[in-house]
Chains A and B, each alone.
Chain A
């Protein structure tokens, strides 16, 4: 009788422990998921802000300075125009002969900007 009772208690303890472990594991997973979701939301919120921080006409700006530190002067215009010309030179082969290769192939010779 007592051995049966001990067996029942042992099984109950084992089963209870397993349930407890499973519950804790589930809670831990849920916490990680919630944390990841918050991180994704924060990244998504930062993305548009980064994109509008500077007039990246065709491409993301090289420098990620705060917009308050950037002066839209002639030097900035020159930089933007240089960037546009560079980008156009890079896509010129695709414009003349559209193909997947020409779209993604890195330039084999230094890009000449007029």
Chain B
């Protein structure tokens, strides 16, 4: 687990001793193909890093009384899922489903916060990583939304850069 945590983007640059502290609170989970790690709207208690396989972040779309999950992002080894566990209101905003048999290491918020209290360097690195994830997500949706606005209001309903 030590090596897998060290390879995780969220813990990039932390010393071996700090990785060891995180390993002590991490819980390895195995997901079967199609199994959900969490659902949109669930209380977010764990932030996880993918160690093998692939986890799809999905948005449920309802149409004609049928609800199906649409994958909006796929994350592989080293990537983070469930950062909502570290940000109010602590609710997942997407669902996470294993695209293949996958493994993740989950970190419970209370335990992670305890580590943060005793080691501000871990807190700085982790929250910096979470901020970057959030900024990327925000920027992506901002760009998508602006393209959508263009399409909606441009004559003929198509933007110039499709």
**In the bound complex, what is the Cα–Cα distance between A114 and B56 (angstroms)?**
13
**List of A residues within 8 angstroms of B61 by Cβ:** 55, 57, 80
**List of B residues within 8 angstroms of A76 by Cβ:** 63, 68
Q: In the complex, which of the residues B144, B161, B162 has the most CB atoms of chain A within 10 Å of its own CB atom?
A: B144
Pairwise interchain contact B70-A91, C-beta atoms closer than 8 A: no
B74 to chain A: closest residue by CB: A114
Interfacial residues of chain B within 109-162, with CB under 8 A of chain A in the complex: 136, 139-140, 143-148, 151-152, 157, 160-162
**In the bound complex, what is the Cα–Cα distance between A84 and B144 (angstroms)?**
9
**List of B residues within 8 angstroms of A28 by Cβ:** none
**List of A residues within 8 angstroms of B161 by Cβ:** 90, 104-107
Pairwise interchain contact A95-B136, C-beta atoms closer than 8 A: yes
Q: A57-B61, A58-B147, A60-B157 are in contact. Are A84 and B140 (CB under 8 A)?
A: no
Does B89 lie at the interface of the complex (its beta carbon under 8 Å from any beta carbon of A)?
A: no
**List of A residues within 8 angstroms of B62 by Cβ:** 55
**List of B residues within 8 angstroms of A80 by Cβ:** 61, 70
Interfacial residues of chain A within 20-72, with CB under 8 A of chain B in the complex: 51, 54-55, 57-60, 67, 70-72
Does B59 lie at the interface of the complex (its beta carbon under 8 Å from any beta carbon of A)?
A: yes
**In the bound complex, what is the Cα–Cα distance between A76 and B144 (angstroms)?**
20
Residue numbers of A with Cβ under 8 A of B are 51, 54-55, 57-60, 67, 70-72, 76-77, 80-81, 84, 87-88, 90-91, 94-95, 98, 103-107, 114
Report 28 cross-chain contacts, Cβ distance below 8 Å, ordered by A residue: A51-B152, A55-B61, A55-B63, A57-B61, A57-B70, A57-B72, A58-B147, A59-B151, A60-B151, A60-B157, A67-B64, A72-B63, A72-B64, A76-B68, A77-B70, A81-B70, A81-B71, A84-B71, A84-B72, A87-B144, A87-B147, A90-B162, A95-B140, A103-B146, A104-B161, A106-B161, A107-B161, A114-B74
